[in-house]
Structure 1
């Protein structure tokens, strides 16, 4: 995984975990990768993944069953969506809207491109739901 410079790596790993949950790659109440396994996958120090998992546990997105491993919480989907929406609306949307304004991009063009993106990127997901 390529990490962005402007955000802590542990937060980017937490975003990755959240994305896996949103994409239903990691089902609710399912066991997830161990700290070591995710560290190897992400090519980071296990302490960084531990920090990510601690962060997600505080938000009740994952839980640790001692001696068994980490699991996705039953209410994780709603919690991830709420957390990610808050992050997006506070951090990313203002930058996006500023660019729209400065570049004089009409909302209609954004709507068209958004629909096209969804159709091309998530068309398999439509048939799975």
Structure 2
């Protein structure tokens, strides 16, 4: 996992990474996550950063803590991750996108051909 320099907190980048894995079915319900220490070593971050990400994911009901055993992907992780990411996209990413569209005098209809091309390429990969 590579961290970006967009100003987003590292723990939220870890949250997004885990949510993405859930949404892409790379992590499924009842899959065990690495321990806090193991994840911290793998990502080369402070264990407190990983703990903060795990706590946030618990609050979003994407993961669950089984005391003494570890952290696991929750049964309804996919729908909860989807809801969280949609909300985040609508509040954080979309306003900047709309600002650029407005600056370029683009309308939503201008995006349809590019989006259809993207879907065609993405689905054939």
Query: TM (normalized to structure 2)?
Result: 0.88
- 1:93 and 2:90 aligned: no
Count of residues paired in the alignment: 124
Please give the residue correspondences for 1:1-129 in structure 2 after superposition, counting only pairs within 5 Å: 1-124=2-125
SS in 2 for 1:70: strand
- What is the alpha-carbon distance in structure 2 between the residues aligned to residue 68 and residue 123 of structure 1? 40
Gaps of 5+ in 1: 125-129
Query: TM (normalized to structure 1)?
Result: 0.86
Moved over 6 A (4+): none
- What is the alpha-carbon distance in structure 2 between the residues aligned to residue 5 and residue 13 of structure 1? 14
* Deviation of 1:122 (Å): 4.2
Gaps of 5+ in 2: none
- What is the alpha-carbon distance in structure 2 between the residues aligned to residue 122 and residue 41 of structure 1? 31
